[in-house]
């Protein structure tokens, strides 16, 4: 079943003081099936964050539409959009986006508190997640007291705790050392195996090589895609590298 469908998305940023408009996305279309683990690759500035923000309904496209389980995001009322986002989507960001005023546990609880869940229910939900992510004994700490890897695992816990339809991750390994990055990617793979649908944008070949499918975006359009199928991580890594080289040398792409 298709969870996410993106049709002809276009985004043009117009700066407030009459600067020249920037086209971040030209014409992006793709879809994500239930249980999939997809990665979107592109260079810095290619519009990945813009795309993700639109998928997350944090930003509006200039034109085109986004359907989540067949429901158009643009049809949701302004008032309900936050609740919709909270209940259907989970986020993992490059810079963690944990609030420094809350302990890690409270950071993870935040979306549930907003949905009006009781403390007992929240604790019950957190318990297995914390065990799986290995963050049980740092929950009382504050974001500035733990490492980047630990912060990111807490951010993942915050995304998982609402049992979302889809988890969106923006450069989740971007601020991590290679070991923590490796751990996080393994974690993504695990939760995907348990049935969680994941969409990750990244410019790291390493990160992308863990996904089941990789989409390449360039000049604001989906340029190419690769399926991992039965390939090993290493083989996938090689294949992605080759594609990137081809893209960089400008070959293969036609309008």
Ligand X SMILES: Nc1ncnc2c1ncn2[C@@H]1O[C@H](COP(=O)(O)OP(=O)(O)O)[C@@H](O)[C@H]1O
- Min separation Cβ 14 and other proteins, Å: 13
Report the residue from 6, 30, 37, 42 that binds ligand X according to the rule CB under 6 A: 42
Q: Are 243 and 224 in contact (CB under 8 A)?
A: yes
Residue 67 contact partner, candidates ligand X, other proteins, Mg ion, none, CB within 5 to 8 A by sort of partner: none
CA–CA gap between residue 158 and residue 91 (Å, rounded): 8
Token pair of 144, please? 């500035």
Residue at token pair 């889809």? 166
Residue 42 contact partner, candidates other proteins, ligand X, Mg ion, none, CB within 5 to 8 A by sort of partner: ligand X
Q: Are 55 and 25 in contact (CB under 8 A)?
A: no
Contact between 45 and ligand X per CB under 6 A: yes
CA–CA gap between residue 81 and residue 101 (Å, rounded): 25
Q: What is the CA radius of gyration of the chain?
A: 18
Contact between 13 and ligand X per CB under 6 A: yes
User: Going by DSSP bridges, is the β-strand pair 221-227/213-218 parallel, antiparallel, or unpaired?
Assistant: antiparallel
Q: Where do contacts with other proteins occur on this chain (CB under 8 A)?
A: 56, 58, 79, 81-83, 85-86, 91, 93, 97-103, 106, 109-111, 113-114, 116, 118-119, 122, 142, 144, 158
Q: Are 8 and 63 in contact (CB under 8 A)?
A: yes
In the complex with ligand X, the residue whose CB is nearer, 25 or 135, is 25
Residues 32-71 that bind Mg ion (CB under 5 A): 49
In the complex with ligand X, the residue whose CB is nearer, 104 or 169, is 169
Q: Are 97 and 175 in contact (CB under 8 A)?
A: no
- Min separation Cβ 44 and ligand X, Å: 4
Q: How many positions of this chain bind ligand X (CB under 6 A)?
A: 12
Binding site for ligand X (CB under 6 A): 13, 15, 22, 24, 42, 44-50
């Amino acid at each position: 079943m298709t969870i996410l469908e993106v049709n002809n998305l276009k985004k043009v940023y117009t700066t407030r003081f009459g600067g020249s408009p920037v086209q971040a996305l030209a014409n992006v279309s793709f879809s994500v099936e239930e249980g999939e683990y997809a990665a979107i690759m592109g260079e810095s500035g290619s519009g990945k964050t813009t795309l993700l923000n639109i998928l997350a309904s944090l930003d509006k496209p200039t034109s085109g539409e986004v359907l989540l389980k067949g429901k158009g995001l643009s049809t949701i009322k302004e008032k309900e959009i936050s609740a919709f986002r909270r209940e259907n989507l989970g986020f993992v960001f490059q810079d963690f986006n944990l609030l420094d005023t809350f302990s890690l546990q409270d950071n993870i609880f935040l979306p549930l508190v907003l949905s009006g869940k009781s403390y007992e229910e929240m604790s019950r939900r957190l318990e297995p997640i914390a065990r799986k992510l290995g963050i049980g004994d740092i929950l009382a700490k504050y974001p500035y007291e733990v490492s980047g890897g630990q912060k990111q695992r807490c951010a993942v816990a915050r995304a998982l705790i609402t049992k979302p339809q889809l988890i969106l991750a923006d450069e989740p390994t971007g601020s991590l050392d290679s070991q923590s990055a490796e751990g996080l990617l393994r974690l993504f793979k695990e939760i995907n195996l348990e049935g969680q649908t994941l969409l990750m944008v990244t410019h790291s070949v390493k990160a992308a090589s863990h996904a089941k499918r990789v989409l390449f975006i360039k000049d604001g359009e989906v340029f190419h895609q690769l399926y991992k199928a039965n390939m090993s991580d290493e083989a996938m890594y090689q294949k992605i590298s080759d594609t990137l080289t081809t893209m960089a040398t400008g070959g293969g792409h036609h309008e």
